[in-house]
Amino acid sequence: MPGGGKLEIETSKRILDASAVVRVGSVHPGQYVALTVRDTGMGIDPAMQAKIFEPFFTTKNLSTNSGLGLSSVYGS
């Protein structure tokens, strides 16, 4: 957040029953941990939002870093 702001990271227990599994998809009923991230920043550009979960997407300058962190975790 270049202009400053507040970042909140929260975890909580969640129990997904059969009806919740239908809404969420591809998980089994049971106990899960939810990760919630909130900030007061200016937001993410819509064009970037469409790509943020692509394993090889990076905003880094290609000459300074590989940007392969998420893809390494994704392939594990």
Domain ranges of the chain: 1-42, 44-76
Q: What is the pLDDT of residues 46-60, one digit of tens each?
A: 988 898 888 777 777
8 A C-beta contact, residue 71 and residue 56:
yes
Q: Global pTM?
A: 0.51
How far is residue 72 from each of residues 22, 46, 56, 64, 67, measured CA to CA in Å?
30, 25, 9, 18, 10
Per-residue pLDDT of 66-75, as tens digits, reads 656 655 665 5
